[in-house]
């Protein structure tokens, strides 16, 4: 695939393979901020817990497609630290997980282009499932639940939930950008 | 002929890679930070970025509590109206109202009232925040109790709030005894295949002691938790090891998910609080009666 650009490959101000078109980018950034706020309002403010989708991971995966590798890692670390600050016994697990997810998400721009519905849904599903799997590995023996329950069942359902939300958001972004 | 060459790397690309490596290193470092450093980071974030969200949860919890109080006051008015209209069974009504005054009236002032909030984020299951801390006289390992018994213990204390764990936490332990003191043991959490399968089990009792179903189990006072706080009731034999040891399932007195307002023992609280929980207060917070099946 040709890279007809003069800017840095992963730096700022350059054409980014796989990122959304320029008209949609402002909508995506607004969406990221809204998802960030909504995640903590639902999980902490309303105390809904697992019934609420993991909007923070969606926000991170969206950010990762829009910024460079380092910025995606920084966003992941920040998001992870916020989650870790509320989990005393597993401090650091979310930080490492979210940083890794941010970096991997950013690297996918070199592998996959476009923002078709199928891609976005698959990207969010795999991203969320990877996040849960990595978190399960890092959380420590004391808190670790059985793999089948935590990763396959809960992780799979969580990833489906996130993918469904992502599908709705994709439609919303398209409609907003086009209008 | 144009030769294929490696893609041009620039200073911007290198900078991104260096930043990413730095962030990954910092993230990995957080796993190995000392407890103090981790708590400082957590406190800083809770007091800054997360403060509005925590405040929202506390506000909502208080609003729910006030709504409950309105219902309670309404029921009081209804009860008084009924009493005035009938002028009968006044003694029974009086007794009922005294019960509703709650545990807080019976406990000493050293038990401080607190609101429970749950983070609800991954990794924080079985943990909760209470809005009282060191300034209120709360210490680490202080018991957190509801009107029905032991809800958990404090794990980490800060100036104005504290983090606690309920009995579903894998680290939860409580020295326990039967109500009549005929057998002693250790109550701990046993994780089920699914989270809803988590149960309490009474270990360490002698094999020849056969504990009847429904027998009340209280804290024994060994360790930091005062004597006499209800933990649950015996609910069948969990395991037999040869001919020397038995363990028993417990039906917990308190369902952690239903706890929103609690008392936390402050510094110098009484070491024997058996009188705070008379035998008829053992219906669980979740609404289960004493004879209901476990879960």
- Residue A10 located in a structural domain: no
Least confident of A156-160, B25-29, B92-96: B92-96
Tokens of B29: 């470092």
Instruction: Report the pLDDT value the prediction gives residue A59, as an integer from 0 to 100.
Output: 95
Tokens of A35: 């998802």
- Residue A8 located in a structural domain: no
pLDDT range class, residue B62, cuts 50, 70, 90: confident
Q: Report the DSSP pairing between strands B143-146 and B261-265.
A: antiparallel
The whole-angstrom distance between B99's CA and the closest CA on chain A is: 30
Distance CA A112, CA A114 (A): 7
The answer to whether A166 and A121 are in contact (CB under 8 A) is: yes
- Residue A12 located in a structural domain: no
Does pLDDT of B292 surpass 60? no
Residue A152 forms contact with B (CB below 8 Å): no
Which among A40, A73, A81 has the least Cβ separation from residue B24? A73
Superfamily of domain B173-253: Rod shape-determining protein MreC, domain 2 (2.40.10.350)
User: Total domain count for chain A?
Assistant: 1
Rounded to two decimals, the pTM is 0.56
A139-174: pLDDT as tens digits = 878 778 888 888 999 899 999 999 999 889 888 888
Instruction: Report the pLDDT value the prediction gives residue B89, as an integer from 0 to 100.
Output: 53
- Residue A118 located in a structural domain: yes
Does pLDDT of B179 surpass 70? yes
- Residue A2 located in a structural domain: no
Chain B residues in contact with A47 by the CB 8 A cut-off are 57, 60, 117-118, 120
> Which domain covers residue A174, as residue numbers?
25-178
Does pLDDT of B157 surpass 50? yes
The beta strand positions in B228-276, using DSSP E, are: 230-241, 245-252, 261-265
For B280, other C-beta atoms within 10 Å of its C-beta total: 8
Distance CA A127, CA A162 (A): 9
The answer to whether A170 and A124 are in contact (CB under 8 A) is: no
pLDDT range class, residue B90, cuts 50, 70, 90: low
- Residues in chain A with pLDDT < 70? 1-24, 88, 114
Instruction: Report the pLDDT value the prediction gives residue A6, as an integer from 0 to 100.
Output: 37
Question: How far, in whole angstroms, is CA B198 from its chain's centroid?
Answer: 14
Q: Do B32 and A11 touch (CB under 8 A)?
A: no
Distance CA A28, CA A169 (A): 9
- Residue A17 located in a structural domain: no
Does pLDDT of B187 surpass 90? yes
Instruction: Report the pLDDT value the prediction gives residue B91, as an integer from 0 to 100.
Output: 62
Residue A95 forms contact with B (CB below 8 Å): yes
pLDDT range class, residue B7, cuts 50, 70, 90: low
Instruction: Report the pLDDT value the prediction gives residue A45, as an integer from 0 to 100.
Output: 86
Q: Give the start-to-end residue ranges of the domains of chain B.
A: 35-101, 107-166+254-269, 173-253
Distance CA B132, CA B113 (A): 8
Does pLDDT of B20 surpass 90? yes
Instruction: Report the pLDDT value the prediction gives residue A23, as an integer from 0 to 100.
Output: 61
If you average pLDDT over each of A22-31, B10-19, B133-142, B205-214, which comes out highest? B133-142
Q: Do B19 and A84 touch (CB under 8 A)?
A: no
Question: Do B107-166+254-269 and B173-253 agree at the fold level?
Answer: yes
Instruction: Report the pLDDT value the prediction gives residue B94, as an integer from 0 to 100.
Output: 54
Interface test with A, best of B41, B55, B123, B168 (most A CBs within 10 A): B123
Q: Which CATH number fits domain B107-166+254-269: 2.40.30.10, 3.40.50.720, 2.40.10.340, 1.10.238.10?
A: 2.40.10.340
Instruction: Report the pLDDT value the prediction gives residue B87, as an integer from 0 to 100.
Output: 61
Chain A residues in contact with B120 by the CB 8 A cut-off are 43-44, 47-50, 52
Residue A157 forms contact with B (CB below 8 Å): no
Distance CA A17, CA A111 (A): 9
Instruction: Report the pLDDT value the prediction gives residue B103, as an integer from 0 to 100.
Output: 61
Q: What is the mean pLDDT of residues B267-295?
A: 55
Residue of B nearest to A80 (CA): B27
Residue with tokens 């800054």: B48
The whole-angstrom distance between A76's CA and the closest CA on chain B is: 9
Least confident of A109-113, A150-154, B5-9, B76-80: B5-9
Q: What is the mean pLDDT of residues B174-189?
A: 89
Instruction: Report the pLDDT value the prediction gives residue A14, as an integer from 0 to 100.
Output: 42
Q: Where are the alpha helices (DSSP H) in chain B?
A: 11-31, 35-47, 51-86, 90-100, 103-106
Does pLDDT of B295 surpass 60? no
Chain A residues in contact with B57 by the CB 8 A cut-off are 44-47
Which among A12, A77, A83 has the least Cβ separation from residue B121? A83
Instruction: Report the pLDDT value the prediction gives residue B107, as an integer from 0 to 100.
Output: 63
């Amino acid at each position: 695939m040709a890279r007809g650009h003069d800017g840095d490959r992963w730096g700022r101000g350059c054409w980014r393979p796989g990122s959304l078109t320029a008209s949609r980018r402002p909508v995506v950034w607004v969406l990221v901020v809204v998802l960030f706020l909504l995640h903590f309002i639902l999980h902490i403010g309303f105390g809904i817990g697992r019934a609420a989708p993991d909007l923070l991971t969606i926000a991170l995966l969206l950010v990762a497609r829009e910024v460079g590798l380092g910025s995606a890692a920084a966003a992941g670390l920040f998001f992870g630290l916020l989650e870790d600050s509320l989990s005393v016994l597993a401090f650091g697990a979310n930080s490492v997980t979210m940083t890794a997810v941010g970096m991997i998400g950013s690297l996918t721009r070199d592998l996959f282009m476009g923002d078709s519905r199928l891609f976005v849904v698959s990207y969010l599903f795999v991203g969320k499932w990877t996040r849960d799997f990595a978190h399960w590995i890092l959380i420590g023996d004391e808190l670790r639940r059985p793999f089948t329950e935590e990763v396959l069942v809960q992780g799979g359902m969580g990833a489906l939930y996130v993918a469904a939300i992502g599908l709705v958001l994709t439609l919303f972004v398209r409609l907003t950008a086009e209008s | 002929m144009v030769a294929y060459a490696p893609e041009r790397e620039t200073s911007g690309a290198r900078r991104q890679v260096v930043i990413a490596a730095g962030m990954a290193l910092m993230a990995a470092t957080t796993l190995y930070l000392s407890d103090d450093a981790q708590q400082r980071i957590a406190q800083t974030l809770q007091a800054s970025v997360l403060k509005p969200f925590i405040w929202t949860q506390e506000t909502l919890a208080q609003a729910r509590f006030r709504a409950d109080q309105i219902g309670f006051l309404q029921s009081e008015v209804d009860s008084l109206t009924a009493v005035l209209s009938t002028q009968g069974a006044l003694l029974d009504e009086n007794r009922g109202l005294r019960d509703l005054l709650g545990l807080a009236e019976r406990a000493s002032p050293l038990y401080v009232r607190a609101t429970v909030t749950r983070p609800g984020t991954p990794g924080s299951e079985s943990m909760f925040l209470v809005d009282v801390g060191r300034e209120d006289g709360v210490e680490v390992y202080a018991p957190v109790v509801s009107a029905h018994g032991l809800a958990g213990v404090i794990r980490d204390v800060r100036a104005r709030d504290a983090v606690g764990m309920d009995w579903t936490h894998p680290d939860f332990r409580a020295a326990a005894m039967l109500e009549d003191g005929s057998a002693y043991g250790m109550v701990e959490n046993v994780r089920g295949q699914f989270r809803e399968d988590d149960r309490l089990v009474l270990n360490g009792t002698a094999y020849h002691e056969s504990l009847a179903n429904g027998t009340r189990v209280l804290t024994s006072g060994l360790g930091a938790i005062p004597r006499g706080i209800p933990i649950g009731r015996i609910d069948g034999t969990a395991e037999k090891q040869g001919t020397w040891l038995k363990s028993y399932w417990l039906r917990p007195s308190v369902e952690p998910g239903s706890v929103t307002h609690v008392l936390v023992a402050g510094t110098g609280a009484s070491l024997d609080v058996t009188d705070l929980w008379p035998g008829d207060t053992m219906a669980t917070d979740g609404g289960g009666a004493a004879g209901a099946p476990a879960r």
